[in-house]
């Protein structure tokens, strides 16, 4: 029963992983990658690690891949034609890495003593409580370092997203907002004056800024 399920999910994972590489459409690759993550989550459940499985689905399949799909949809990249030209040096590198991986697997299969592992049914290694207590006692330092690393990544993303030179401090950035920058409404304004003007029409914004409207408000369509 368990062996059958393992073969099913392992085959799904390998098949989806092959599809990630083989697909030409980036969105198909992304969907295949989601398939890989979900199959891996199923394998984690079978290894008595339900917490890892749930986190795998929430973080990778639910958050990161949504962003990837989001970006692919936004950029609308359909085909990548120039793949053949770049593949030249990648092929030998891939072969070497694959050989290393196969050697590793062979080493584990041949020389690691299987009897020393606890059976999956008797241990509580994968349970939520044991992961939590281990994370905050034995592995506290790596945990804290990782969180600081993530904090740095967030701050870095923020500084990259709002560059101080182009945005004045009072400018607001709200994703998807219908905001107009002052330099869009009035060309005579300084180029770095991107004070946000929140209005419904350009004429209204011009009125608010005390400048002449590029269009006659009475002839507005």
Partner 1 sequence: MDWQLILDVVMKLVAITVVFIVVLFVVAYTVLAERRILGFIQGRLGPNRVGYGGVLQPFADLLKFILKEDIVPDKSTRFIYFLAPVIATMAALMTMIVYPFGPETTIPFINKTIPLVVARFDVGLLYVLGITSIGVYGIALAGWSSNNKYSLMGGLRSSAQMISYELALGMSLIGVLLLSGTLDLAAIVGLQSRWHGSSWFIFAQPLGFIIYLIAAIAETNRVPFDLPEAETELVAGFHTEYSAMKFALFFLAEYINMFTVSMLATTLFLGGWNVPFADALFGRGTFLFGLISVLGFLAKVIFFLFLYIWLRATLPRFRFDQLMSFGWKFLLPAAILNILLTATLIVVGVYGYFGY
Site for partner 1, rule CB under 8 A? 27-28, 31, 34, 38, 41, 50-51, 53-55, 57-58, 61-63, 66-67, 69-70, 73-74, 127-128, 174-179
**Closest CB 221 distance from partner 1, rounded Å:** 18
Tell the burial category of 23 from Cβ atoms under 10 Å away from its Cβ (0-12, 13-18, 19+): middle
Q: Could you give the angle at the alpha carbon of 6 between the alpha carbons of 107 and 118, nearest 5°?
A: 60
Question: How many angstroms from the chain centroid is the CA of residue 168?
Answer: 29
202 three-state secondary structure: helix
Q: Which positions ≥6 away from 29 have C-beta within 8 Å?
A: 19, 20, 21, 23
**Closest CB 46 distance from partner 1, rounded Å:** 13
Q: How many CB atoms lie within 10 A of CB 181?
A: 19
- 44/162 Cα distance (integer angstroms): 40
**Closest CB 14 distance from partner 1, rounded Å:** 21
**Closest CB 144 distance from partner 1, rounded Å:** 18
Which CB sits closer to partner 1, 83 or 172? Answer: 172
List, in sequence order, every residue forming a beta bridge with 197; answer none if it has no partner. Answer: 180
**Closest CB 38 distance from partner 1, rounded Å:** 8
**Closest CB 174 distance from partner 1, rounded Å:** 5
The H-assigned helical ranges of 23-139 are 26-46, 50-55, 65-75, 83-111, 128-136
Q: Which positions ≥6 away from 42 have C-beta within 8 Å?
A: 5, 9, 12, 53
């Amino acid at each position: 029963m368990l062996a059958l399920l393992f073969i099913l999910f392992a085959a799904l994972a390998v098949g989806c992983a092959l599809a990630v590489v083989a697909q030409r459409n980036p969105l198909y690759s992304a969907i295949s990658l989601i398939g890989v993550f979900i199959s891996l989550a199923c394998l984690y459940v079978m290894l008595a690690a339900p917490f890892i499985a749930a986190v795998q689905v929430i973080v990778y399949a639910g958050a990161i891949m949504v962003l990837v799909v989001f970006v692919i949809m936004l950029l609308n990249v359909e085909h990548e034609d120039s793949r053949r030209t770049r593949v030249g040096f990648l092929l030998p590198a891939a072969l070497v890495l694959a050989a290393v991986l196969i050697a590793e697997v062979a080493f584990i299969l041949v020389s690691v003593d299987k009897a020393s592992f606890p059976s999956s049914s008797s241990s509580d290694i994968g349970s939520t409580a044991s992961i939590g207590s281990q994370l905050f006692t034995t592995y506290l330092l790596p945990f804290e370092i990782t969180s600081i690393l993530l904090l740095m990544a967030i701050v870095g993303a923020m500084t990259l997203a709002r560059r101080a030179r182009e945005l004045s401090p009072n400018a607001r950035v709200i994703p998807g907002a219908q905001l107009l920058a002052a330099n869009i409404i009035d060309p005579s304004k300084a180029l770095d004056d991107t004070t946000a003007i929140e209005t419904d029409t350009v004429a209204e914004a011009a009125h608010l800024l005390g400048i002449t409207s590029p269009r006659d408000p009475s002839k507005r369509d």
